[in-house]
């Protein structure tokens, strides 16, 4: 076989050397948070109809879908996110499920993004959606849940960038700019191409005063929410819908504060997201010194309607599991593997392998991670390999000690050894 076929496809990764474990650790914590907040897990297919996934994804993301025809000639795609699939569920099978409906998903997603640090073509998300409430407390729940998860995995030095698409869209709508054109402008804002965005708004029919307002909004941002919100009020005072949006954002932020949800907020009036379905509060989470978002979400009240499920307001978030793992590593968090005790059992003679198996199982039944020496190596070779692989304890079974129901227990880090009765092994190893 040609050597290029033995490489992973560009943008795809093999997760080895603890990477898979780190990913599963975050997944496990994400599942724990889903339970603590009452989100039920749903598993949706990896492949969906292209039209469903493409509906409100935004031009940039749409271009990056893995699209193909299945053998039945259907135009399908690999999911680039969970939201469309979960919204489909709510518009169909779960249409009559009692509201609010809280749903959690975790799994792999596919986007033909340009591979770089923290950007892959196959990546993982932990995704939470809350359906049925248009009230600010629902938005607050999603923000608080996100914060809980980040704390749970041990992330430090992160902040939430928060805005409200209603503010920008209301100003754009004021001069009758159609939704399609608004979408293009929002995409440009998302890519920080502010001048092109303003030029596009101008060409689409934005009046001079609306353009001025937009330009002002793009410069309103800061870490003191009260000040930023009052600046937004001032900027949009002649746009009643934008005022409503600013009020909604202000309410969400005050409720977060009242609930003592301790998050660093950077409020940005000109913050837009590439996904087109958002209708209200939007946010992304960034880690200081890392220029990529570890999560993002917001309110989308019209998607279920678009899928024929009636008016169902919704708000949600997706955390990038791979990026969280990268951020934790960068912050020096030890991999999960290194925290637990790992025991190697070595039978010094072949005739003691049965004993070795018995002791392995005894410890495993009590929750200890145990590996059995299966290479037939000498004790010294097995020990030096164990050292290299981060084994914390080695249990050596010799014919002399076993007669008295004893084994040699070696503490790898301390490089000490003692002879202990088998029934005290568990206690000696500790958890
Ligand atoms: P998103 O901002 O497109 O939102 O993605 C959420 C997170 O997924 C990002 O912040 C990032 O951590 C991770 N992510 C995205 N693309 C990649 C990539 N190529 N490589 C690695 N990680 C990536 C959504 O997907 C929305 N569905 C979120 C949402 C849920 N909104 C409402 N409900």
Contact between residue 276 and residue 57 where contact means Cβ atoms under 8 Å apart: yes
**What is the pLDDT averaged over residues 139-143?**
98
Domains of the chain: 2-330 (3.30.930.10), 340-429 (3.40.50.800)
282 lines ligand 1 (CB under 6 A): no
120 lines ligand 1 (CB under 6 A): yes
- Nearest residue (by CA) to ligand 1, atom 31, is 297
Position 412 scores a pLDDT of 96
Position 382 scores a pLDDT of 96
In ligand 1, the atom with minimum distance to the C-alpha of 275 is 3
Question: Partners of 128 in the beta sheet?
Answer: 104, 317
276 lines ligand 1 (CB under 6 A): no
- Nearest residue (by CA) to ligand 1, atom 20, is 119
Ligand 1 centre to CA of 102 (Å) is 19
Ligand 1 centre to CA of 321 (Å) is 9
127 lines ligand 1 (CB under 6 A): yes
- Nearest residue (by CA) to ligand 1, atom 8, is 320
Position 336 scores a pLDDT of 60
Q: What pLDDT, in 10s, does the model give residues 331-353?
A: 988 766 556 899 999 999 999 99
Q: What pLDDT, in 10s, does the model give residues 15-42?
A: 998 899 999 999 999 999 999 999 999 9
Among the ranges given (2-6, 88-92, 125-129, 294-298), the one the predictor scored with the smallest mean pLDDT: 2-6
Ligand 1 centre to CA of 127 (Å) is 9
Ligand 1 centre to CA of 249 (Å) is 22
pLDDT above 80 (res 404): yes
pLDDT above 70 (res 365): yes
58 lines ligand 1 (CB under 6 A): no
State how far the Cα of 219 lies from the Cα of 214, in Å rounded to an integer: 9
- Nearest residue (by CA) to ligand 1, atom 30, is 317
In ligand 1, the atom with minimum distance to the C-alpha of 324 is 12
pLDDT above 60 (res 150): yes
Look at phi and psi of residue 345 and say left if phi exceeds 0, alpha if psi is from -120 to 50, else beta. beta
Position 337 scores a pLDDT of 59
56 lines ligand 1 (CB under 6 A): no
Query: What's the token pair of residue 144?
Result: 């608080």
Angle in degrees, CA 161, 167, 170, rounded to 5: 155
295 lines ligand 1 (CB under 6 A): yes
State how far the Cα of 80 lies from the Cα of 395, in Å rounded to an integer: 48
Q: What pLDDT, in 10s, does the model give residues 205-253?
A: 999 999 999 999 999 999 999 999 999 999 999 999 999 999 999 999 9
Give residue 196's pLDDT band: very low, low, confident or very high (50, 70, 90). Answer: very high
- Smallest CA-to-CA distance from 345 within 366, 365, 371 is with 371
In ligand 1, the atom with minimum distance to the C-alpha of 127 is 30
In ligand 1, the atom with minimum distance to the C-alpha of 299 is 32
139 lines ligand 1 (CB under 6 A): no
Give residue 3's pLDDT band: very low, low, confident or very high (50, 70, 90). Answer: confident
- Smallest CA-to-CA distance from 370 within 341, 403, 396, 348 is with 341
81 lines ligand 1 (CB under 6 A): yes
Ligand 1 pocket test target in 26, 318, 323 with most atoms within 8 Å of CB: 318
pLDDT above 60 (res 431): no
Position 87 scores a pLDDT of 98
Mean pLDDT across the chain: 95
CA quadruple 169, 172, 176, 181: dihedral sign: negative
Give residue 6's pLDDT band: very low, low, confident or very high (50, 70, 90). Answer: very high
């Amino acid at each position: 076989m040609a050597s290029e076929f033995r490489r992973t496809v560009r943008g795809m990764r093999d997760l080895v050397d603890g990477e898979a474990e780190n990913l599963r650790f975050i997944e496990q914590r994400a599942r724990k948070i889903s339970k603590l907040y009452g989100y039920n897990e749903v598993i949706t297919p990896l492949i969906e109809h292209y039209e469903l996934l493409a509906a409100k994804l935004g031009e940039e993301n749409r271009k990056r879908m893995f699209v193909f025809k299945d053998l039945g000639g259907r135009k399908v795609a690999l999911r680039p996110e969970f939201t469309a699939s979960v919204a489909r569920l709510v518009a169909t099978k779960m249409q009559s499920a009692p509201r609010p409906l809280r749903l959690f998903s975790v799994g792999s997603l596919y986007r033909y993004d340009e591979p770089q640090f923290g950007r892959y073509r196959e990546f993982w998300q932990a995704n939470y959606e809350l359906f049925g409430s248009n009230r600010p407390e629902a938005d607050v729940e999603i923000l608080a849940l996100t914060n809980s998860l980040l704390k749970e995995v041990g992330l430090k030095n992160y902040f939430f960038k928060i805005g409200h698409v209603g503010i920008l869209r209301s100003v754009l709508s004021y001069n009758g700019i159609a939704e399609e054109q608004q979408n293009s402008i929002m995409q440009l804002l998302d890519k920080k191409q502010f001048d092109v965005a303003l030029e596009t708004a101008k060409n689409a029919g934005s009046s001079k005063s609306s353009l001025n307002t937009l330009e002002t909004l793009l410069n309103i941002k800061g870490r003191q929410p009260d000040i930023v919100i009052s600046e937004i009020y001032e900027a949009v005072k002649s746009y009643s819908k934008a005022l409503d949006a600013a009020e909604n954002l202000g309410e969400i932020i005050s409720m977060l504060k009242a609930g003592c949800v301790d998050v660093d907020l950077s409020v940005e009036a000109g913050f837009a997201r590439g996904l087109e379905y958002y209708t209200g509060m939007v946010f992304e989470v960034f880690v200081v010194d890392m220029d990529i978002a570890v999560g993002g979400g917001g309110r989308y009240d019209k998607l279920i309607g678009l899928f024929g499920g009636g008016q169902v307001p919704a708000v949600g978030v997706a955390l990038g599991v791979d990026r969280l793992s990268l951020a934790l590593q960068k912050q020096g968090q030890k991999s999960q593997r290194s925290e637990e005790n790992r025991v190697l059992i070595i039978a010094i003679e072949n005739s003691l392998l049965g004993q070795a198996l018995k002791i392995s199982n005894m410890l495993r039944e009590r929750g200890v991670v145990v590996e059995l020496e299966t290479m037939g190596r000498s004790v010294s070779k097995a020990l030096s390999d164990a050292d290299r692989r981060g084994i914390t304890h080695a249990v050596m079974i010799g014919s002399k000690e076993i007669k008295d129901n004893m084994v040699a227990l070696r503490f790898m880090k301390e490089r000490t050894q003692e002879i202990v009765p088998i029934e005290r092994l568990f206690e000696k190893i500790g958890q």
